[in-house]
Structure 1
């Protein structure tokens, strides 16, 4: 008895799916693209290679700076775990009532701290060194490119709307 409503539902859905008849589409009217003066705006010219390169260098220097910051944090956390773990975790305990009955007891917490701190500290320090070099190289390339772009721009006479005059 439970299958009957399910069967009716499926039959109704299949009829509704096949009910739609394919009608002929209306003809597509194509027009020539509108000219910029009819659009109401002037299309922006594509960026030059130098502008593209500047954006790429800015993005890559941002990524290398983020890597430098993250790896520095990893180095600090690793140092906070590694160096205290190197110090022996031992202390004197008096066993009896006399002062001569002292015993040295050591905990194994240092091994765990060294085991976790070692990879964090040395991996982070290596990463800081590498990402610092990468960051410096990329920022240098970006600075040289921006200097060259500013020099090339400054040689032409252009109108400065802020000062309302020609500038060189």
Structure 2
């Protein structure tokens, strides 16, 4: 049974995993556009941004700006990806109800029914807090990615024209 707490944790895990993929994919795209010839595994921030072909281009600061936004979330992403499920003490308050829902044996529907509204409100409050926390961060990241694409377009066009 997938409970609301499970679903919330899943969505937050997905956010962290995808969030941290953005700089990595941006580096790999830069590698392709500038035709640096680096293997994908070697497309690290230093390797790409310190490459001679990027020095003096507006792409370099855009890549660094994307990384700056994402960096505080990398540790949580690594924990999720390599060790365990998303864990937040504030979510634990919501998970109590999930434990009751998943309990084996005959369910005490009266307990579940009496506490359902309370835990729904707790979950709604938790979700709203996460939205307020991540909304501005996601918006900032979208803006930086947009600026990154804009700065990557001229070198892409140059290289594309040269290949024609």
Q: TM-score range, shorter-chain basis?
A: 0.3 to 0.5
Q: Structure 1 length normalisation: TM-score? A: 0.35
Higher percent of residues as helix: 2
TM-score normalised by L of structure 2: 0.36
Say which structure is richer in strand.
1
